[in-house]
Amino acid sequence: MPDSYIVHKTPERFCYAFGRILEEKYSQVRSNTWITAITCLLDVLQVGIPVSLKNQAEFAGMWKALAPCLENFLFCPNEAPSSLTAEEHEEHEALDVRVVSLLRDEVLPHSDAVPRPFLVHAMNLLNRGSIHSAAQGPFIDTESSRTLREDFAKTCFETLLQFSFISKQAAWAEGSLTKLAVSALVQRCHAVLCKYVEDERLSGKCPLPRARTSEMTSVLKAIATLLVTLKKSEVTDVDEDIWRQVIDMYPVLVDCTISTCPRVSKALRQALQEYGGLLHHPTKK
């Protein structure tokens, strides 16, 4: 890679330039300029990120520019036009998934070479994205399975889950990333549980959309997996705050027992059974 590439900081400039375009996503009904912008940006980052990992000081500005750029794209303040077809919704969601996949494959595995502020921002984006489907829109929207970005939320959640279980032999930077991921994962699960209980109560006899029950089932299974992993870990390897957050979820899980959805009830039983050894705070040896 020529030195001029580093000197001119091409990825950083692309982030700033395309960031302005991405802020205008959906601001004009039939304008697809933002699609070209995010596609080009992803292509640039595929080349630029590996270079930046080897030249951390020279590329510090890229990470500062990239963080708000990704946030403005993934969580655009402008509403999608009502004229969008189902196919267009799927195409746009696929771009969201590409962004998350880039973080998962090219950034997070190299956390020791990425500025901590960007890692924190990335985890916040994943956390926000994983609950985005449940937190937005009417709770009994019959079209929600099309508009709630299920694949995007699922990819965000799976990425959080993936980086919550890094080996105990991981380096310090990876261990720090693990704490961020676990904390974000627990917060996400707690938010989904509370929202589901509230919405099911308000819906009365009307069942919640399939997307919501699928999300709830996934969250309950993730909680069970998280508990199994925590119980296998050394007490000193798990942050005190993580134990507190996990234990604080128990009352909310109990509230979920009134659910009338068979799939939710089955996943809930599995999660509650894993709480047997965690009802009291573990004591350090």
* Residue position matching structure tokens 């590409």: 98
Q: Answer yes or no: is 247 within a domain.
A: no
If one counts the domains in the chain, the total is 1
Q: Is the pLDDT of residue 166 over 70?
A: no
Q: Answer yes or no: is 85 within a domain.
A: no
Question: Cα(134)–Cα(227) distance, rounded to whole angstroms?
Answer: 23
Q: Which two tokens stand for residue 217?
A: 């089932």
Q: What pLDDT shows up at residue 95?
A: 94
Q: Answer yes or no: is 37 within a domain.
A: yes
Q: Answer yes or no: is 133 within a domain.
A: no
Interval 60-87 mean pLDDT: 87
Q: What pLDDT shows up at residue 185?
A: 77
Q: Answer yes or no: is 117 within a domain.
A: no
7-44: burial string, b at 16+ Cβ within 10 Å, e else = eebbbbebbbebbebbbebeeeeeeeebeebbeebeeb
Interval 13-38 mean pLDDT: 82
Residue ranges of alpha helices (H) inside the chain are 3-8, 10-22, 33-54, 60-74, 86-102, 116-135, 144-147, 150-162, 172-203, 210-232, 240-248, 250-255, 262-273
Q: Cβ atoms within 10 A of the Cβ of 120, count? A: 15
Q: How confident is the model at residue 29 (pLDDT cuts 50, 70, 90)?
A: low
Domain encompassing residue 38: 1-74
Q: How confident is the model at residue 173 (pLDDT cuts 50, 70, 90)?
A: very low
Q: How confident is the model at residue 135 (pLDDT cuts 50, 70, 90)?
A: very low
**Residues 92-134: tens digit of each pLDDT:** 999 999 999 999 999 998 988 899 899 889 988 887 887 654 3
Q: Of residues 143 and 65, which shows the higher confidence score?
A: 65
Q: Answer yes or no: is 239 within a domain.
A: no
Q: Is the pLDDT of residue 226 over 90?
A: no
Q: Answer yes or no: is 263 within a domain.
A: no
Q: How confident is the model at residue 148 (pLDDT cuts 50, 70, 90)?
A: low
Q: What pLDDT shows up at residue 254?
A: 93
Q: Is the pLDDT of residue 36 over 80?
A: yes
Q: Answer yes or no: is 39 within a domain.
A: yes
Q: What pLDDT shows up at residue 136?
A: 41
To the nearest 10°, report the CA torsion of 65, 93, 220, 174: -30
Q: How confident is the model at residue 9 (pLDDT cuts 50, 70, 90)?
A: low
Interval 180-201 mean pLDDT: 85
Q: How confident is the model at residue 256 (pLDDT cuts 50, 70, 90)?
A: very high
Interval 25-38 mean pLDDT: 80
